[in-house]
Structure 1
């Protein structure tokens, strides 16, 4: 094992924000000289569980390993509890015995289950003795799917490939935010001609996937697109903006695509909300702790509220005038 290669990969994984446990598993596989291996992780997001697969491959010309890509997929169903796995159980050729396939990724578990041609069960739990049934089949025909699991079973989450070049690319947290539909700010983008630029990046989750089954990426260039995060934040009465350190932290979180907590006043009381950047509309979205959207206009500063009201009145007058011209 090339120790320089190991140290470089450790540094790359740390810079990309992957867990220490994954770094340790990578080292174990490299020491065992496994030519190609995949590391898996699950992270709880705001909208569900995000499954991650990291792909490592040894060079054909040397003993060096490379991490050129990883993928993320969002499972909007119930996330796995600590120690749990998806289980595919089917009778073995030995009477009274069962075959059990264990998977941490729900899409992979569903795929294994559907490939069976006899009797099988898809479950979730710590082991076959402590499980909750999700689906069953008899003689290759599916005869039961748990109601709460039905949507996930019919439409398993598809992965989004995230490319990495020498440890540079979207970090783990940024990729999670992207697959959950939030925008991420990058200062290190390059055109095909090698020219640097800055932009907010957002997956087009409502559009079709490309020929590689990935979502396309929308880009909102900075400053040409016109979304200025600082100016948008200044329109709102947000307590964290009162101190430079807290403001810097909030801006960094929003640029990372996070949904950080802010403090605002509602009905005379201070309340905590979650906020996210929406560069496409040069706005912010705000949410209560339970995920319910909040009307951002109620948290605008007085001057900004007057501008919004004035703009609305102008639109209303224009609408009335156009109606009066009708024949």
Structure 2
């Protein structure tokens, strides 16, 4: 058995958000030297669970195994309908288990990607619910930097306490970039209240929810001096302008490892 390769695969599972729960089963399959095998697990999330099927394949020339992709299926407590998607792994990097949950839940994730020539670039990715690619899977839409969505700039007009503390601001931005619904503290009518927000790159804004995750108008989170929000027509014009600049997908996700603190769903 190739111990170095096994350790590499274990690190890949850890980095992808599966922890060490599959390590023993992984080692048993590698010891058997099967040409290919699958590992299955399930992770709970808020009012939902995601089942994962991880695909491993052995090299035709050596005893090296590769973690190539995984299938993720989301089932929520609110509906019996399931959503499934295949996510590809490139050199132990790609969409993490948590990010897969967020994407299947309809949210966007900010990733560092590589194009066909190996050049890195950053973009927000989001599943297109009404599109189908090869094998009937939903396509991933990308919103590149030239699309014009700047999360930091978008959050400035809002009365979010965490945004004005450098350390908490960094944690907030990272959490939103991972596609989380993040809890924040907002000053409303002189009182601090809890709200939840998520990034919405397609419309260059954020979505807001109350403490029970019911949608609320994002304008209610604005600071008093920022209350004059753009009209629907202005937002539509801005979106159309950005969509003309959006580019087609260029490569596979290659994320940078980060740590996140704070409450997120």
Q: What's the TM-score bracket when you normalise by the shorter of the two chains?
A: 0.7 to 0.9
Structure 1 residue aligned with 2:98: 173
Cα distance, 1:313 vs structure 2: 11
- Distance in structure 2 (CA, Å) of the matches to 1:314 and 1:202: 24
Structure 2 residue aligned with 1:37: 37
Looking at CA atoms only, which structure, 1 or 2, has the larger radius of gyration?
Answer: 1
Structure 1 residue aligned with 2:214: 292
Cα distance, 1:299 vs structure 2: 1.1
Moved over 4 A (4+): 311-315
Structure 2 residue aligned with 1:55: 55
- Distance in structure 2 (CA, Å) of the matches to 1:62 and 1:277: 44
- Distance in structure 2 (CA, Å) of the matches to 1:178 and 1:304: 31
Structure 2 residue aligned with 1:141: none
Contact 1:240 1:246 in 2 (8 A): yes
- Distance in structure 1 (CA, Å) of the matches to 2:231 and 2:199: 23
TM-score (norm 1): 0.66
Q: Any idea what SS the aligned residue of 2:227 has?
A: helix
- Distance in structure 2 (CA, Å) of the matches to 1:165 and 1:275: 31
Structure 2 residue aligned with 1:256: 178
TM-score (norm 2): 0.81
Contact 2:83 2:104 in 1 (8 A): no
Superposed counterparts of 1:22-33, under 5 Å: 22-33=22-33
1:213 equivalent in alignment to 2:146: no
Contact 1:47 1:180 in 2 (8 A): no
Larger RCO, structure (CA 8 Å, separation 6 or more): 2
Cα distance, 1:312 vs structure 2: 4.5
- Distance in structure 1 (CA, Å) of the matches to 2:206 and 2:118: 32
1:201 equivalent in alignment to 2:125: yes
Contact 2:10 2:20 in 1 (8 A): no
Tell which deviates more after alignment, 28-37 or 68-77.
Answer: 28-37
List runs of 5+ in structure 2 lacking aligned partners. Answer: 235-265
1:64 equivalent in alignment to 2:56: no
Superposed counterparts of 1:56-205, under 5 Å: 56-77=56-77, 152=80, 157-187=82-112, 189-205=113-129
- Distance in structure 1 (CA, Å) of the matches to 2:147 and 2:233: 25
Q: 1:267 to 1:301 in 2, by over 3 A?
A: closer
Q: Any idea what SS the aligned residue of 2:134 has?
A: coil
Q: Any idea what SS the aligned residue of 2:106 has?
A: coil
Contact 1:274 1:286 in 2 (8 A): yes
